[in-house]
Amino acid sequence: MTGGTTALLLFGIAVVLIGVYGARVSRKTAVDYMLAGRQIGAVVMFFYVAFVIYSAWTFYGYPGFTYLSGAPYSIFPLAAHLSFALFFVLVGPRLWAMSRMYGYISPVEFVEQRYESPFLRLLTALVLLVFIVPYVGVQVVGVGAGFHALTGLPYLAGAVYLAVLLLAVVFLGGMRTVAWVNVLLGSIFIAAFAGALIWVVAAVLPGGLLGAAQRLEASSPAIFGAPGPMGLWTYKAMVGLSIAGLTACAWPHVVVTTMTARTVGVLRSFALAFLLLGGVLFYAVPNLWGMIVGPALITGLKGKAADAVVQLVVTKFLPAWFAVFVLMAVIAAALSTVGTQLMVSGIFISRDLLTKWLRRQVTDMEMITYTRIGLIVVVILSFLLAWKRPTEMGRFLSDIASPGFTQWLPLLLGGLFWRRATKYGAIAGLSGGVLVLVLAMKYKAITFGFQPVLVALAVNLFLYVMVSLLTRPVAPATVEMFFSRVDKYLAGREGVACSE
């Protein structure tokens, strides 16, 4: 067994032990397992949510697709930073309040009560589950690519390794363990990702960053602006990319984190830190990898091979021990993201699908068991997708998963801020948007040159608004429950009605 493989084995054992410890200290209630007891503070929240968002995609898919298509691809993640920050301060407080007032565990639970529709809750949960699978698949692909680049082991070996770690952390410990692990894993990721960049720029890149940029300006200037080396980035395409980024706040595994905060002030702290420390400072790292360092040091990569550009630079130019550290960081990034995605998937399956279908009260332990069953199902499906690997990793996220999640944004925001929204409008909008999105993946002509997410969202919004206005509004008691009572709660004028 090589040193690298040994180190990975030891790292895996350490993570499993954290999962075991997390299981021991857990209070064995559904809220503790699924929402970390609603006790996440500011520092943990930053690492927890940031590294839910920063995944193996940040290390592989994003620099890889930037390497191929050019700097304009940065519009997607940077717009997403703005989106997440604003979501936490504009929308987060209401979700946080409702979670405490009405005992919600799943982010989709409020959909049923707000719209007076169990069917809509079921439909929303199913749609989100379907699009979570490719996102989980992205992480599995990333780790598989990294394993292969570093150790020469087959791509599937990395995928299996990640699947085992995920089940240990999430299955055993639940959301609280995922949050703790994210602090550790996030720190490793920052140290390795940024550390590798600094090392390569200082010791390997002739002339440093400025020298490399000058050489690229002379040899391959297309990478620095639209339309990019692949000619992909037309104005329309970039507007669509911006929309995909600005609607990223709809990611269900991020929405659920607003419900875990200890206080509403934690949401504010996170938003500011994420905007500035994340978007401006940290995201300079993958930008530099994809726009300058990768293209300057490794040329000729095409298609899916570009996913591993960062790992290839690290393996070729840095000592073997550091390359292993970097791979651990990638696994850390993947684990931290998928952990929460799996938790959310498990919550959808147990809370929104199975228990509604069973039509009876379930105990906390039964809920936890159903959640665990859901985790296994999603891991298997994602693993199968990773095995097939139909496209470049970057596109799993920006072209499939994120546009899919976006389709629940109108009903989520409308449910919170528009009293006139009805279940018929929400069902029509969600169904129409998803249908257009799926058709657009196969029949590009229906998008008229725009990004599929833009067309799908436009159809979704139109149906949502028009059908809502033409159909019977919800009961006044429901409006009061989700508007004036929540307003009073946030202003501190109403006590907690139901929480745990």
Per CB under 8 A, residues contacting another protein are 71-72, 74-75, 78-79, 81-82, 85-86, 89-91, 93, 209-210, 212-214, 217, 221-222, 224-227, 233, 235, 238-239, 241-243, 245-246, 263-265, 268, 271-272, 275-276, 279-280, 287-288, 291-292, 417, 483, 487, 490-492
Residue among 265 and 319 whose Cβ is closer to another protein: 265
Minimum distance from residue 328 beta carbon to another protein (Å): 28
Q: What tokens were used for 109?
A: 């639970």
Residue among 4 and 295 whose Cβ is closer to another protein: 295
Minimum distance from residue 57 beta carbon to another protein (Å): 18
Residue among 115 and 233 whose Cβ is closer to another protein: 233
Residue among 1 and 491 whose Cβ is closer to another protein: 491
Minimum distance from residue 311 beta carbon to another protein (Å): 22
Residue among 142 and 279 whose Cβ is closer to another protein: 279
Residue among 221 and 303 whose Cβ is closer to another protein: 221
Minimum distance from residue 131 beta carbon to another protein (Å): 23
Residue among 23 and 416 whose Cβ is closer to another protein: 416
Minimum distance from residue 227 beta carbon to another protein (Å): 8
Minimum distance from residue 157 beta carbon to another protein (Å): 36
Minimum distance from residue 27 beta carbon to another protein (Å): 22
Minimum distance from residue 15 beta carbon to another protein (Å): 33
- Whole-angstrom distance, CA of residue 211 vs CA of residue 500: 57
Minimum distance from residue 166 beta carbon to another protein (Å): 32
Residue among 284 and 466 whose Cβ is closer to another protein: 284
Minimum distance from residue 298 beta carbon to another protein (Å): 18
Q: Show the 3-state SS of the chain.
A: CCHHHHHHHHHHHHHHHHHHHHHHHCCCCHHHHHHHHHCECHHHHHHHHHHHHCCHHHHHHHHHHHHHHCHHHHHHHHHHHHHHHHHHHHCHHHHHHHHHHHCCCCCCHHHHHHHCCHHHHHHHHHHHHHHHHHHHHHHHHHHHHHHHHHHCCCHHHHHHHHHHHHHHHHHHHHHHHHHHHHHHHHHHHHHHHHHHHHHHHHHCCCCHHHHHHHHHHHHCHHHHCCCCCCCCCCHHHHHHHHHHHHCHHHCHHHHHHHHHECCHHHHHHHHHHHHHHHHHHHCHHHHHHHHHHHHHHCCCCCHHHHHHHHHHHHHHHCCHHHHHHHHHHHHHHHHHHHHHHHHHHHHHHHHHHHHHHHCCCCCHHHHHHHHHHHHHHHHHHHHHHHHHCCCCHHHHHHHHHHHHHHCCHHHHHHHHHCCCCCHHHHHHHHHHHHHHHHHHHHCHHHHCCCCHHHHHHHHHHHHHHHHHHHCCCCCHHHHHHHCHHHHHHHCCCCCCCCCC
Residue among 157 and 222 whose Cβ is closer to another protein: 222
Residue among 246 and 297 whose Cβ is closer to another protein: 246
